[in-house]
């Protein structure tokens, strides 16, 4: 993998060196492409603010990958896991497109090596890079891809320049050009954060969505039905988590804090359902801006969700 920052040593609390004391930092090792093909998880950082800047959001997500690693580091593991860190791709200056292409190549390499890539963003422009890697990987073939976005926004803007607000419009155009089959669903849409034009674009593109007001803890049956309908209609799943889907009190450290948001209990339930499906090929986490975080709330919540996804992941057959 061609990365800009090689994986650095992980550090954290040490209670012992035996399996019953294991924490993330004790098991993570640098990604080794020469190692036999395995089914473990590989973390890939994507340090980028450029997409958020272009989308007129508040920058800060460039520091997200390191903050996520730090929050994961001392989390205790109930069982041994195969964990690797491939380092970080950095978007230099305004050259977002080059960074997305390099991320795509890294994700494709991880998938072709039998790994489960989890990308640590970065703004939500990370999504087009992650998708590009899945589209180029051997296992995509002619299978129907499902993209489940946990997000307050559709990110379907038709801007001239790619940004954190355009990745799923770019994906729709790429899938149309390739003649491949895919489905894009969004859970947690905030009506006040999306114009009528964006809702109309979603309708025209056949996007299924569930608004945040219908994603509460009491709405679990409806959420389960939404996720199950999605899972039953696709062969492979790409899960993308924009942290601004969470309430601002839980996730203040994002580009656009939510005035309402989806409870973390619901987000975790959705992640559990997706990871248990045996269809999840890649995941990413976007929009953590540590400079705006309070007591590392956002980073800790994101790390807990990543921890849950990795622990629950079932390799795609």
Binding residues for Mn(2+): 124, 151, 153, 155, 242, 244
Report phi then psi at 282, rounded to 5. Answer: -160, 155
- Tell me how far apart the alpha carbons of residues 187 and 194 are, in angstroms, rounded to a whole number: 13
Using alpha carbons, list the distances in angstroms from residue 256 to 97, 144, 242. Answer: 23, 32, 10
Using alpha carbons, list the distances in angstroms from residue 232 to 236, 308, 316. Answer: 10, 22, 15
**Which segments are annotated as binding site?**
124, 151, 153, 155, 242, 244
Instruction: Name the CA dihedral angle for 300, 231, 112, 78, rounded to a multiple of 10 degrees.
Output: 40
| Edge-to-edge strands, sheet with 208-211 | 29-30, 83-90, 41-47, 116-121, 280-286, 236-242, 145-150, 182-189, 208-211
Answer for the pair 83, 306: CB distance below 8 angstroms, yes or no. Answer: no
Beta bridge partners of 282: 238
Task: For residue 287, give the nearest of 192, 173, 188, 179 by alpha carbon.
Answer: 188
């Amino acid at each position: 993998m061609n990365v800009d920052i090689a994986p650095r040593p992980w550090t954290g609390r040490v209670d012992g060196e035996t399996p019953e004391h294991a924490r993330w930092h004790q098991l993570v090792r640098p990604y080794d492409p020469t190692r036999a093909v395995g089914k473990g998880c590989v973390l890939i950082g994507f340090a980028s603010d450029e997409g958020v800047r272009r989308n007129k959001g508040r920058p800060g997500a460039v520091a997200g990958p390191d903050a996520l690693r730090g929050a994961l580091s001392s989390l205790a593991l109930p069982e041994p896991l195969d964990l690797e860190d491939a380092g970080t791709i950095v978007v230099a200056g305004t050259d977002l497109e080059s960074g997305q292409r390099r991320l795509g190549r890294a994700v494709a390499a991880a998938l072709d090596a039998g790994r489960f890539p989890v990308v640590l963003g970065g703004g939500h422009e990370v999504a087009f890079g992650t998708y590009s890697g899945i589209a180029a990987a051997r296992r995509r073939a002619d299978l129907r891809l499902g993209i489940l976005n946990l997000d307050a926004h559709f990110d379907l803007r038709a801007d001239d320049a790619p940004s954190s607000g355009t990745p799923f419009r770019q994906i729709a155009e790429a899938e149309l050009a390739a003649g491949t089959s895919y489905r894009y669903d969004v859970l947690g849409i905030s009506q006040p954060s999306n114009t009528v034009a964006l809702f109309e674009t979603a309708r025209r593109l056949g996007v299924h969505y569930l608004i945040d007001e219908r994603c509460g803890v009491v709405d679990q049956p409806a959420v389960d039905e939404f996720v199950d309908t999605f899972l039953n209609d696709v062969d492979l799943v790409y899960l993308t988590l924009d942290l601004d889907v969470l309430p601002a009190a839980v996730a203040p450290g994002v580009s656009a804090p939510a005035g309402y948001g989806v409870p973390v209990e619901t987000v975790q339930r959705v992640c559990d359902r997706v990871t248990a499906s045996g269809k999840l090929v890649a995941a990413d986490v976007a929009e953590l801006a540590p400079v705006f975080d309070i007591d590392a709330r956002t980073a800790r919540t994101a790390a807990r969700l990543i921890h849950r996804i990795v622990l629950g992941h079932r390799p795609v057959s």
